[in-house]
Amino acid sequence: MAKKFGGKYSPGNAAQNDASHEEAVHARAIDDATAGTRLLYLPGILLIITSFNNGPVALVTALFAAALLTFAAWFTQEGLRAEAAYNARKVARKPSIPRKMLASCATGVGIALAAYTGDSGMIGSAIYGLAALALHVVAFGIDPMTDKRMEGIDTFQQDRVARVVEQADETLAAMRDHITRLEDRDLTQRVDAFQATARKMARTVQEDPRDLTRARKYLGVYLEGARDATVKFVDLYTRKPDPDARTAYIDLLNDLQDNFAARTEKMMLDDRTDMDIEIKVLRDRLQREGLS
């Protein structure tokens, strides 16, 4: 049976490839922020292994220290991810939980307890802990401490936009996490293409928060519906690959992408119309006052 050619540079796939590339770049930027942080889990593991022959008290202390170090490693990763997402947005709220700073404190306490299981004593252990805390801060920095805002736009509106965009990002990330479980490149590219279109809408709303009313249903209800449909499809397709279910899911993504793109285009055209009206009104006023 003949098979339609669908290579990288095929005309029909150009837009999808561009969107997939854009979404892949976005995902890679988030992942790059945590590159190398998996090594932070190693000290806790080594601490437990080396403490089995040091008596029950030292072992319990080491277990508690290892738990703190593991928590610190996880919170460092989450803090770096949150910071990368914060930096990628034009309008964003500061992280509600200072993850990196809490990770620095946990690292300091964990290292102090680990040192205390040896022969460092209380003062020496405290010095080791403070040094570890300082090194963690130097290596990973602190969490963003202020909200990112745009001048000339109402603060309340910007806060609403930041909340909606943050929730949309979390929904899109969950959607992508589920679809990657299938290890199906074509489906992953289709989801990436849809997510790139959804993020374009989010950027449009960030640049003009007045568009939030028109886009809120899309960035909220529709995205959550897409995520829920993805979860159900992945569960079904994992148990039994069904070509009909796959086709129906792809059709859903196509419909969503077309609707998101059309709404975004309309918002951009409306914004341009509003700007043209404001310019015309300003010109008329200048002419009336003889300043043109």
- Considering Cα of 32, then 33, then 34, then 40, what sign does the dihedral take? positive
What dihedral do alpha carbons 77, 81, 84, 88 form, nearest 10°?
A: 180
Alpha helices for the chain (secondary structure H): 14-32, 42-49, 56-88, 99-116, 121-140, 155-179, 185-207, 212-217, 223-239, 243-288
The pLDDT of residue 11: 42
The pLDDT of residue 265: 86
Question: How is residue 56 written in tokens?
Answer: 């029950």
* CB atoms near residue 208 (< 10 Å): 18
Angle at which helix 223-239 crosses helix 185-207, to 10 degrees, equals 170
Spatial separation of the C-alpha atoms in residues 113 and 80, rounded to whole Å: 25
Q: Look up the pTM and report it.
A: 0.60
The pLDDT of residue 254: 92
Question: How is residue 17 written in tokens?
Answer: 């490839």
Whether 104 contacts 136, CB under 8 Å: yes
Question: How is residue 20 written in tokens?
Answer: 């997939």
The pLDDT of residue 194: 93
Domain boundaries, the chain: 13-140, 155-288
- Considering Cα of 43, then 67, then 48, then 82, what sign does the dihedral take? negative
* pLDDT average per 10 residues of sequence, the chain (292 residues): 41 48 58 78 91 87 95 94 83 85 96 90 94 95 83 68 87 92 91 91 82 84 92 92 91 92 82 55 60 53
The pLDDT of residue 248: 92
Gyration radius (Cα) of the chain, Å = 26
* CB atoms near residue 13 (< 10 Å): 16
What residues have CB less than 8 Å from 35, skipping those under 6 apart?
none
Spatial separation of the C-alpha atoms in residues 45 and 174, rounded to whole Å: 29
The pLDDT of residue 6: 44
Of 234, 236, 266, 229, whose CA–CA distance to 251 is shortest?
Answer: 229
The pLDDT of residue 8: 43
The pLDDT of residue 2: 40
Spatial separation of the C-alpha atoms in residues 121 and 136, rounded to whole Å: 22
Residue 51 Cα to chain centre, angstroms = 38
* Phi, psi of 92, rounded to the nearest 5 degrees: -155, 150
Q: What is the pLDDT of residues 248-286, one digit of tens each?
A: 999 999 999 999 998 888 887 765 555 555 556 566 565
3-state secondary structure of 148: strand
Instruction: For residue 220, give the DSSP letter.
Output: I
